[in-house]
Amino acid sequence: MAKNKLVAPIVKWVGGKRQLLDEITPLVPKRITSYCEPFMGGGAVLFSIQPKKAMVNDLNGDLITLYEVVRDDVETLIEFLKKHENTEEYFYSIRDLDRDKEAYKNMSKVEKASRILYLNKTCYNGLFRVNSSGEFNAPFGHYKNPNIVNEPVLRAVSKYFNESEIEFFNEDFEETLKKVKKGGFVYLDPPYDPVSDTANFTGYNKGGFDKSEQIRLKNCCDELNKRGVKFMLSNSATDFIKDLYKEYNIHIVKAKRAINSDATKRGEIEEVLITNYGT
């Protein structure tokens, strides 16, 4: 079945994999019975492969709500998105809605999805970032004409979700990985091991992803390997990660990263793609 080129990420995401698809795609197994992505984020790999059967998960509940609304009620979402204004005062009024926990809890799923997509398109650098209380805290981006309502892509993604067997989860990655059966393929794109003490970015969710979490993820990969499940994992090319996965196949790739507030410190860095199978 031909892939729909309009099926593409609907959110901007730190560490998104769009620019690495040319390196990732040739390494994907040719035959996949089912697909799993336990760190969904912007979903560039899912939308590139477009498997007919998939389990996707993210610890960010607002993000999963957005994907469910795109699947279930995309036309209402589009109408809600058209109402938003690209002004600083309006941006902060929408951003601060999650400060009142009770009121936020009572918002409809479409309202929450519309809010989070609007904030993602208009905040600084497309940072999907929350503080330790789980509140969205990226500042206003001052973009002249942000693409808040990308109707063709939203409808294409909705159509893909509805014509395929895509299950959404909002849970710890380990719980999702337990559901993957032999013959499945897992693509893992966790928060990266920081290349320096100042490079850490763990604002996708409240909490963080430290070295103990990286080790827990490696143990899950070992379990997948024992169960006959193929996996590919992206991470930074630190000595810690390369040593942790030394018994697997490690492919070095170059990626451009642009989340440093100092533009002179943005640029090409080495990352790894790790697989438990040959190519």
263 and 194 part of one domain: yes
Residues 220, 199 share a domain: yes
CATH code for the domain in which residue 251 is found: 3.40.50.150
Q: Point out which residues pair with 274 in neighbouring strands.
A: 233, 250
| Per-residue pLDDT reduced to its tens digit, 21-75 | 999 999 999 988 999 999 999 999 999 999 999 999 999 999 999 999 999 999 9
Residue 100: give its domain's CATH number: 1.10.1020.10
Task: Using the 3D structure, point to which of 151, 179, 195 is the last residue of a domain.
Answer: 151
Nearest-angstrom CA–CA distance, 125 and 138? 9
Across 209-220, average pLDDT: 95
Residue 7 belongs to some domain of the structure: no
Together in a domain, 179 and 261 = yes
Q: Tell me, yes or no, whether 25 and 118 share the same domain.
A: no
Q: What is the rounded distance in angstroms from the CA atom of residue 245 to the CA atom of residue 139? A: 37
Which stretch of 4-8, 84-88, 135-139, 230-234 has the lowest confidence by average pLDDT?
Answer: 135-139
Q: Do residues 47 and 108 share a domain?
A: no
Residues 168 and 55 grouped into a single domain = yes
Question: Which of 151, 176, 205 marks a domain boundary?
Answer: 151
Name which of 59, 101, 85, 49 is nearest 207 in CA terms.
Answer: 59
Say if 4 falls within a structural domain: no
pLDDT at 202 over 60: no
Same domain for 44 and 26: yes
pLDDT at 126: 82
Are 42 and 175 in a shared domain?
A: yes
pLDDT at 278: 86
Q: Are 63 and 128 in contact (CB under 8 A)?
A: yes
Q: What percent of the chain has pLDDT over 90?
A: 77
Q: What is the pTM of this model?
A: 0.90
177 and 267 fall within a common domain:
yes
Tell me if 156 is assigned to some domain.
no
Q: How far apart are CA 208 and CA 131, in angstroms?
A: 11
237 and 121 in a common domain? no
For 42, residues 6+ apart whose C-beta sits below 8 A from its C-beta are: 9, 10, 11, 12, 13, 16, 17, 18
52 and 71 belong to one structural domain: no
Per-residue model confidence (pLDDT) at position 89:
97
Q: What is the pLDDT of residues 174-194, one digit of tens each?
A: 999 999 999 999 999 999 998
CA angle 116-234-225, nearest 5°? 115
For residues 114-129, give the mean pLDDT: 91
Beta bridge partners of 253: 271
Pair (39, 119) in one structural domain? no
CA distance 86 to 88: 7
Domains in the chain: how many in total? 2
Helical packing angle, 151-163 and 74-81, nearest 10°: 160
Residue 145 domain boundaries:
67-151
